[in-house]
Chains A and B, each alone.
Chain A
Amino acid sequence: MSNGGGSYNAQNDSRAGSTGEPDMGTEPTGGFFSADYKKHDDLKQMLDSNKDNLKLEAMKRIVGMVAKGKDASDLFAAVVKNVVSKNIEVKKLVYVYLVRYAEEQQDLALLSIATFQRALKDPNQLIRASALRVLSSIRVPVIVPIMMLALKDSVVDMSPYVRKTAAHAIPKLYSLDPEQKDQLIQVIEKLLADKTTLVVGSAVMAFEELCPDRVDLIHKNYRKLCNLLVDVEEWGQVVIINMLTRYARTQFLDPNQQDVVADDDKNFYGDEDEKDSEEEEEDEEKEKTPPKKPYMMDPDHRLLLRNTKPLLQSRNAAVVMAVAQLYHHIAPKSEVGLVAKALVRLLRSHREIQHVVLSNVATLTTIRKGMFEPYLKSFFVRPSDPIHVRTLKLEILTNLATETSISTILREFQTYVTSSDKDFVAATIQAIGRCASSISEVTETCLNGLVGLLSNRNEYVVAESVVVIKKLLQMQPDSHSEIIQHMAKLADTITVPMARASILWMVGEYSDRVPKIAPDLLRKMAKNFINEEDIVKLQILNLAAKLCITNPKQTKLLCQYVLNLAKYDQNYDIRDRARFIRQLVSPAGEKGALGKHAKKIFLASKPAPVLDSSFKDRDQWQLGSLSHMINQRASGYSPLPDFPATAPDPTVRNVEVNPWQQVPMPWAEKTHKKKAGKPKKEAFYSDEEEESESESDSEESSSSSSESGSESESEDDSKSESGSDKEEKKSDEEAESSSSSSSESESSSESDSDSDSESEPDTKPQKKTPPPKSKSSAKPKKEAKQEVSLLDLEDIDMSSTSAPVPTPASALDVLSPSLASDLQGLSINDKKDTAISVTTPMFVSTTSHELLHRMTGEGLAANYRFTRGTCIYSTSMVPVELTFTNHTDSPVSNIRIGEKKLQAGMTLQEFPEIPTLPGGGSMSVSIGIDFKDTIQPANFQICTQDRKYNVSIKPPVGELLQAVTMSEADFTAQQSKLTGMNENSGKASIPSQHNNSKTITSRISELANVAPVFSSQDGLYRFAGKTVSGGTLLLVTVKVGEDNSASITVNCEKMAICSMLVKEVKQKLSQA
């Protein structure tokens, strides 16, 4: 496009739609200001014309001015008119201009707002998105309310792309008007709950910019974020990982604090996947004997580490670095080593990346020496490295030096010393000094090497060696008098002040070892005193004073002479020093009380200097951060918090505890389509359709969402090609493709990277289907187990792995949950306007009740269990799982529900008839019962081929409920509506050992299917649920007093339920 217009430098070319070839010859800046007025008139005319290519040409030139940083603000009025242009390109360039200048011309900018508002309602998602983008980029405070409205509309937009743009708009709006923060945080909360990979990265970015300390917003999304991470675009990954690092530091225990469980060490190398899960199983076993093991890694902590590990293989250096810092900060010691390889790989990249990576590695090596030792050679310096890279490499090599590697390193250093770059040589010599001081074995060798360098032709090399030798000698001064002699001789030739000063200091300090040379040296120095540098003069004074004390006979006069010279020196410090020394060594008259102590003062033994890495103090910064790079606090840097001493409640992250709810099903999509399909009639553009689909996607349960997302996308493509297909045909096909993708998990033709990750939860519930051959599929199974174990449900664990009979999965069994989740999604849809939404249960009971004893049933036994999901048959039904077990040897056939004797209004949905149940086998089916919110038992008959048994199910009151989430504000608001008759309260005393939030929360959720509501008060616990059948709200409040007494309040319109629940809660809480 640009080639169609004038070139960047062509200012005077005013022909419209000019040449195709850019004019490269015009001078860079000339003619701009001279033709200024005329020029702008010219442009204005072109903008006012009604030919698109004239406008385009003008806009291109204006953008050129903007790009060069030239002022084009006086064209604002002329440009802003064109915001309505039909030509996309003109429009785009106008946007560019607007964003740049709107801040300066606020009044005029307002003219364009209406256009954007209109565009925000455009059926095309890309137009909506770009309108929102520009609108939010115009920094005009007057339009904040408009932006806020647009933003709120956009976060619930059907298109994930628009939602992503909305996430980007949040920080913009915040920087314009910080007072909107609270509202914006609500918006962020909504976006964080989004399940599309496109959106979450940006949502977390907004979260980080606005309210990085609101960890409570993350709890519910934590596991989702971990699971989606691999599929988020790379920039989002960086932001999410950084955020999760901080989150982990606040929520989990320090894995290195105490002795980590021994198994952790096992997965240093090798295939961690299997080990991980094994380890977790072990973890979980150990959890049963809690007091003995001091530390147990939280499964969520492990989840984060496991899910970030693949990202070490990202092509994006920033992602790799982010994972590296995550491991450094939150992983157990033994696992951090994993990141070394990836970091070393980055060293092949551009020099800037090298620089940053190396400085982070340098910090790492000060703390974790062993980690990079195998990669020692990768840090060898090449002559082509830029200077800062070389110094960093030297630093790292020095940090890595050990007894075993020191010989290799020293050999390298020897070659560096011959380099032509003097600064580098100096740095190398210092590095040698540090190695020598840290590794006592080689001190001698290094010292000899350095002494060898003293005869180098280059003075800087010699000087640097002298300084380093001085430091080394100070550590072990004995037995090195010949070196001191040698160096004293050097004082004649060497001119570098620092080196001279070092020699003088050394001779003075160890003058007893060179008793003859020292006075002579002082004599030479005194001769040349006035020409020396300041630091040398100070050392001459020192030397004089020391000699004067130890050897007054020879040097007293010399000392006087030097002191006299110093008295008239230009430098304050030297004059001061001279005065001070004179008082000490040659006290005038009787007052020299200090003189007695002169020896102590001057000849005290000095501690040897510690040669430390300059990167030692950098580990206070978060690795990989800007602050770490510049070694000072960058604005906006928040230090990583320390691990908490005791782990905060891990249950806050429990959201999707019910793994059965997440199976994507072929026909789930189908039913779904039919519902979602309705608005299609109004839909005009193909986009619209896609949006409605993707919208519903996001509201489905997480696992199925992206999968179906991908399908609907590609579907859309074909649609645009081939016009509109028949809806039915489409859904058939969809069913086909998604079923294939769930069974083959990855090889389906449509599967993309999303389906990869999705395959994990997908396979979970398919425990009964024949296991796929690939190794990877073994893993999800274990994971399923692990996830269950989060709840301590060993029973389920058992039954899922050791189900006695490999019954072929009854279609119903596998399919129902997703249908359920589908329906659940729909019910959320209905409730959209209120802030109360149905959530997954906190706890699912595993204990089953007896329905039919095997004696009564003549070998056929039946148990029932409340699964607390959403019933697949109707939302007003309570789902119940029936398990039939055949204790006889012969098969039982035709098991079904016979006559039902239900109370008025109650309904029961029966299960499809079980044709045969083999001897010794068992099978589970689900039924739904609408209890009409009463605890009346449901009586019915179970029939086999030849017998009938009367059975009854009596629901506990807690099972008539369904957990809902709401905000604290909503809770109190609803509670205030339910007073008087609708309130029931009681008191209980909680045994002190159970008086903690965890036990109370878990007990209540065990008792009744309610969800905890965030409470800002200590000792106040809130739970919310609604009755399954009537949908009436039920609120539980437990207030714990100081003396372990608790007052329980239940608010609900159904008074019977209310009073029963109070009684039960009372009982449950006071249990020992």
Chain B
Amino acid sequence: MIHSLFMINSAGDIFMEKHWKSVISRSVCDYFFEEQQKANSPEDVNPVISTPHHYLIHIYRENIYFVAVCTTEVPPLFVIEFLHRVVDTFTDYFGDGGETAIKDNYVIVYELLEEMLDNGFPLATESNILKELIKPPNILRTVVNTVTGSSNLADTLPTGQLSNVPWRRAGVKYTNNEAYFDVIEEIDAIIDKQGSTVFADIQGVIDCCVKLSGMPDLTLSFMNPRILDDVSFHPCVRFKRWESERVLSFVPPDGNFRLISYHVGSQNMVAIPVYVKPNISFREGGGRFDVTVGPKQTMGKLVESVVITCAMPKVVLNMNLTPTQGTYTFDPVAKVLTWDVGKINPQKLPNLRGNISLQSGSPPPESNPAISVQFKIQQMAVSGLKVNRLDMYGESSPKKSFSFEKYKPFKGVKYLTKAGNFQVRT
């Protein structure tokens, strides 16, 4: 399946390579570089490249190309999904998956890659298992290791991989037992010039932070599970139970994980919490820019952290604007206007207006730039999803016969609505 992996930074250096079968010369990356040259931006490189003898499948994340080399037929998504899992693991281990982090922790990286893939076929990809095999670095451990000369490879070998709950390690113990659930929804929308919605849908996730002792068995139920019509689950969720009762029943992994992600389709009505009234016009040598933002269907909640960005046409030389609220910056190189609005006060709507100056001699652009909007609304899930209750059946020690040492965990649910890919055409 996956034969080799090359990591290439933005400068085009192959700074790490790993081979799971026999060694493939790094010159195979030349085909990749060739393809990269043709592309305008790093994202534009075709993820699947065919060369005479190999197939290069890559992902681009954290400014690094992770290029996997395959020699035979393999489902491309298999490789792509795996590569993303690799980067996720790095991020999980080192805080970020960037080049510096990888270089700093190259031994761990190498050991991880060794564990994750055997002969090109994924072996252990669950972060809980990997963490038992290879301890993630932290400052305290580093100090201790330096002083005592011990290593941070686990002395005892993990049992998790062998159990039927491969995502959870055994013998978890906490003094404070807590379970937090974040219901985060992002609104993807395209709004047209007139302010009507061309397309809108909601992408939601429930991220959990579960720190419970033993082998807890949780059941999460919703007030209105009908909303969840298109869902994907973490493997721990019992599908049958969901099908029949519409409750999420699961033995959670330890720590942070994404329980479900769901999609509320464009068939449903989606409340659009903000509106943007743009008025951009160009003429020979200059133009006017006037944008107002206001709250729309916010269900009485405050719209916060509003940021408006607008990629201006290349001919724009500079912009001279006055905001009634917040601050704005214009990057004359990338031609990006960013206006950090902050909170929207319904009484006094934020507005940004002023003049645009164009390069002299060049014709004014024919089309107006699209505006993208960022915002956050706390304590609201725009789809209306509400958690009903969380029940736990847990034993702190799974096998002390019949003694169900019950503990009362601290439970919490948080809702948040954000803008995802929220664009206004002007």
What is the CA–CA distance of A350 and B146 in the complex, to the nearest angstrom? 39
A69 lies within 8 A of B14 (CB):
yes
Contact A377 B266, CB 8 Å, known A353-B77, A626-B48: yes
> Which one of B58, B164, B370, B395 contacts A709 once the chains associate, using CB atoms below 8 Å?
B164
> Which one of A160, A233, A317, A718 contacts B400 once the chains associate, using CB atoms below 8 Å?
A718
Chain B nearest CB, measured from A898 CB (Å): 45
A165 lies within 8 A of B203 (CB):
no
Among the listed stretches A1-9, A292-300, A858-866, which one makes contact with chain B, having 4 or more residues with CB under 8 Å of it? A1-9
What is the CA–CA distance of A757 and B26 in the complex, to the nearest angstrom? 46
Chain A nearest CB, measured from B287 CB (Å): 15
Question: Which residue of chain B is the closest to A378 with respect to CB atoms?
Answer: B266
Contact A28 B199, CB 8 Å, known A139-B22, A380-B190: no
What is the CA–CA distance of A345 and B106 in the complex, to the nearest angstrom? 35
- Which of B75, B84, B215, B234 has the most CB atoms of chain A within a 10 A radius of its CB? B75
> Which one of B137, B170, B370 contacts A383 once the chains associate, using CB atoms below 8 Å?
B370
Contact A53 B149, CB 8 Å, known A3-B105, A377-B199: yes
* A753 / chain B contacts, CB cutoff of 8 Å: 164-165, 235-236, 238
What is the CA–CA distance of A716 and B398 in the complex, to the nearest angstrom? 10
A56 lies within 8 A of B230 (CB):
no
What is the CA–CA distance of A420 and B46 in the complex, to the nearest angstrom? 21
- Which of B77, B82, B233, B236 has the most CB atoms of chain A within a 10 A radius of its CB? B77
A382 lies within 8 A of B78 (CB):
no
Mark B240-267 against chain A: 1 for CB-CB distance below 8 A, else 0.
Answer: 1101110001010000001001010111
Mark B49-77 against chain A: 1 for CB-CB distance below 8 A, else 0.
Answer: 01000010011110000000011111111
Among the listed stretches B150-158, B293-301, B322-330, B352-360, which one makes contact with chain A, having 4 or more residues with CB under 8 Å of it? B150-158
Is A591 in the interface zone, CB < 8 Å from B?
no
Is A754 in the interface zone, CB < 8 Å from B?
yes
Chain A nearest CB, measured from B191 CB (Å): 12
* A418 / chain B contacts, CB cutoff of 8 Å: 366-367
A377 lies within 8 A of B198 (CB):
yes
Is B166 in the interface zone, CB < 8 Å from A?
yes
* A386 / chain B contacts, CB cutoff of 8 Å: 41, 43-44
A717 lies within 8 A of B171 (CB):
yes
Among the listed stretches B121-129, B379-387, B411-419, which one makes contact with chain A, having 4 or more residues with CB under 8 Å of it? B121-129
Tell me the A418-465 residues at the B interface (CB within 8 Å).
418-420, 456-458
B372 lies within 8 A of A384 (CB):
yes
Chain A nearest CB, measured from B296 CB (Å): 20
A3 lies within 8 A of B142 (CB):
yes
Question: Which residue of chain B is the closest to A104 with respect to CB atoms?
Answer: B23
> Which one of B188, B239, B367, B395 contacts A310 once the chains associate, using CB atoms below 8 Å?
B239
Contact A273 B75, CB 8 Å, known A352-B59, A718-B398: no
* A357 / chain B contacts, CB cutoff of 8 Å: 77
Chain A nearest CB, measured from B307 CB (Å): 15
What is the CA–CA distance of A63 and B114 in the complex, to the nearest angstrom? 12
Is B119 in the interface zone, CB < 8 Å from A?
yes
A624 lies within 8 A of B73 (CB):
no
What is the CA–CA distance of A644 and B261 in the complex, to the nearest angstrom? 40
> Which one of B104, B118, B203 contacts A3 once the chains associate, using CB atoms below 8 Å?
B104
Contact A1 B145, CB 8 Å, known A93-B107, A353-B80: yes
B106 lies within 8 A of A8 (CB):
yes
Contact A87 B400, CB 8 Å, known A313-B233, A626-B76, A713-B164: no
What is the CA–CA distance of A1009 and B70 in the complex, to the nearest angstrom? 50
Tell me the A47-71 residues at the B interface (CB within 8 Å).
52-53, 56, 60, 63-64, 66-69
Is B225 in the interface zone, CB < 8 Å from A?
no
A20 lies within 8 A of B77 (CB):
no
- Chain A binding site: helix, strand, loop or mixed by DSSP? helix
Mark B308-322 against chain A: 1 for CB-CB distance below 8 A, else 0.
Answer: 000101100000000
B244 lies within 8 A of A776 (CB):
yes
What is the CA–CA distance of A751 and B44 in the complex, to the nearest angstrom? 47
A317 lies within 8 A of B77 (CB):
yes
* B44 / chain A contacts, CB cutoff of 8 Å: 386-388
A458 lies within 8 A of B105 (CB):
no
* B395 / chain A contacts, CB cutoff of 8 Å: 749
Mark A6-35 against chain B: 1 for CB-CB distance below 8 A, else 0.
Answer: 011100000001011010100010000000
A637 lies within 8 A of B77 (CB):
no
> Which one of A356, A374, A752 contacts B164 once the chains associate, using CB atoms below 8 Å?
A752
What is the CA–CA distance of A63 and B82 in the complex, to the nearest angstrom? 23
Is A171 in the interface zone, CB < 8 Å from B?
yes
Chain B nearest CB, measured from A120 CB (Å): 16
Is B389 in the interface zone, CB < 8 Å from A?
no
Among the listed stretches A477-485, A490-498, A539-547, A628-636, which one makes contact with chain B, having 4 or more residues with CB under 8 Å of it? A628-636
What is the CA–CA distance of A95 and B425 in the complex, to the nearest angstrom? 57
B81 lies within 8 A of A316 (CB):
yes
> Which one of A344, A720, A759 contacts B240 once the chains associate, using CB atoms below 8 Å?
A759
A88 lies within 8 A of B81 (CB):
no
- Which of A1, A124, A313, A632 has the most CB atoms of chain B within a 10 A radius of its CB? A1
A355 lies within 8 A of B157 (CB):
no
A710 lies within 8 A of B118 (CB):
no
What is the CA–CA distance of A228 and B208 in the complex, to the nearest angstrom? 28
What is the CA–CA distance of A351 and B393 in the complex, to the nearest angstrom? 40
A716 lies within 8 A of B159 (CB):
yes
B263 lies within 8 A of A348 (CB):
yes
Question: Which residue of chain B is the closest to A9 with respect to CB atoms?
Answer: B103
Question: Which residue of chain A is the closest to B121 with respect to CB atoms?
Answer: A205
Is A850 in the interface zone, CB < 8 Å from B?
no
Tell me the B364-401 residues at the A interface (CB within 8 Å).
365-367, 370, 372, 393-395, 397-401
* B110 / chain A contacts, CB cutoff of 8 Å: 63, 66-67, 96
What is the CA–CA distance of A720 and B311 in the complex, to the nearest angstrom? 61
Mark A386-422 against chain B: 1 for CB-CB distance below 8 A, else 0.
Answer: 1110000000000000000000000010010011100
Contact A69 B17, CB 8 Å, known A8-B103, A133-B118, A753-B236: yes
What is the CA–CA distance of A322 and B78 in the complex, to the nearest angstrom? 9
Is B346 in the interface zone, CB < 8 Å from A?
no
B146 lies within 8 A of A22 (CB):
no
What is the CA–CA distance of A342 and B74 in the complex, to the nearest angstrom? 21
What is the CA–CA distance of A719 and B265 in the complex, to the nearest angstrom? 49
A202 lies within 8 A of B121 (CB):
yes
Chain A nearest CB, measured from B290 CB (Å): 20
What is the CA–CA distance of A156 and B142 in the complex, to the nearest angstrom? 41
Is A227 in the interface zone, CB < 8 Å from B?
no
* B55 / chain A contacts, CB cutoff of 8 Å: 626, 630, 634
Chain B nearest CB, measured from A3 CB (Å): 4
> Which one of A24, A87, A314 contacts B104 once the chains associate, using CB atoms below 8 Å?
A24
Chain A nearest CB, measured from B186 CB (Å): 9
Mark A756-797 against chain B: 1 for CB-CB distance below 8 A, else 0.
Answer: 110100000000000000111000000000000000000000
Among the listed stretches A234-242, A575-583, A600-608, A967-975, which one makes contact with chain B, having 4 or more residues with CB under 8 Å of it? A234-242
Chain B nearest CB, measured from A428 CB (Å): 13
Interface, chain A (partner B; CB < 8 A): 1-5, 7-9, 17, 19-20, 22, 24, 28, 52-53, 56, 60, 63-64, 66-69, 87-89, 92-93, 95-96, 100, 103, 124-127, 133, 136-137, 139, 159-161, 165, 168-169, 171-172, 175, 197-198, 202, 205, 230-231, 233-235, 238, 242, 273, 310, 313-318, 320-322, 341-342, 344-345, 348, 350-353, 355-357, 374-375, 377-378, 380, 382-384, 386-388, 412, 415, 418-420, 456-458, 624-627, 629-630, 632, 634-638, 690, 706, 709-710, 713-722, 725, 729, 733, 736, 746-747, 749-754, 756-757, 759, 774-776
Sample (28) of A-B pairs whose CB atoms are under 8 Å apart: A2-B107, A4-B142, A9-B103, A20-B146, A67-B110, A69-B14, A88-B153, A314-B233, A318-B75, A321-B77, A345-B263, A353-B84, A375-B266, A384-B423, A386-B43, A387-B39, A388-B44, A420-B314, A626-B48, A626-B74, A634-B73, A636-B71, A636-B73, A717-B399, A729-B401, A749-B217, A750-B398, A753-B235
Q: A24-B100, A317-B80, A710-B164 are in contact. List 4 more A-B contacts (CB 8 A).
A: A1-B137, A235-B121, A235-B122, A315-B258
Closest 6 CB pairs of A and B: A718-B399, A636-B72, A2-B107, A776-B244, A418-B367, A710-B164
